[in-house]
């Protein structure tokens, strides 16, 4: 499974999301659940709109824009510390990773299933964030 699609595998057949770097912070911490999940849905839609196995440069830019918007929305107050750090890891990674660097990780040619440029500890935090999404936004993402 590609690293681009791995996180939404947690949702079962529902879908995909992905990627991350280290956290800078500074993102809002008071988003409503509705706004947060709406932004997550936008990320999801940009990700599943990828027509081939790998995003084109234009598709990558749409994914980055959706993650940028997610960062501007921020997280709800009820998010845990690890999940919040994972949010920051993911948003920073997508918005900072240029297309040529991102292309290197498409398809997991190196056999790794982690997020490019992210430590194993930060990758675990990103996983916690994706797990949080499955609970917090299950209705928006078609979960049960």
pTM of the model: 0.78
pLDDT tens-digit map of 35-92:
999 999 999 999 999 998 889 999 999 999 999 999 999 999 999 999 999 999 999 9
The half-sphere exposure of 83 on its side-chain side, counting CA atoms within 13 A, is: 16
Residue 112, phi-psi category: left (phi > 0), alpha (psi -120 to 50), beta (remainder): beta
- How distant is the alpha carbon of residue 1 from its chain centre? 15
User: Which one, of 39, 20, 36, lies nearest residue 126 by Cα?
Assistant: 20
Helix, coil or strand: residue 53:
coil
């Amino acid at each position: 499974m590609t690293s681009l699609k791995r996180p939404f595998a947690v949702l079962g057949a529902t879908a995909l999301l992905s990627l991350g770097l280290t956290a800078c912070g500074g993102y809002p911490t008071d988003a409503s659940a509705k706004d947060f999940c709406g932004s997550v849905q936008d990320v999801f839609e940009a990700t599943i709109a990828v027509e081939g196995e790998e995003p084109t440069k234009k598709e990558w830019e749409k994914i980055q824009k959706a993650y940028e918007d997610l960062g501007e929305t921020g997280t709800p107050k009820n998010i845990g510390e690890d999940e919040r750090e994972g949010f920051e890891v993911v948003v920073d990674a997508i918005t900072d990773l240029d297309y040529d660097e991102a292309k290197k990780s498409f398809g997991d040619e190196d056999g790794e299933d982690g997020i490019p440029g992210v430590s194993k500890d930060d990758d675990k935090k990103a996983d916690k964030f994706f797990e949080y999404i499955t609970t917090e936004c299950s209705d928006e993402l078609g979960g049960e």
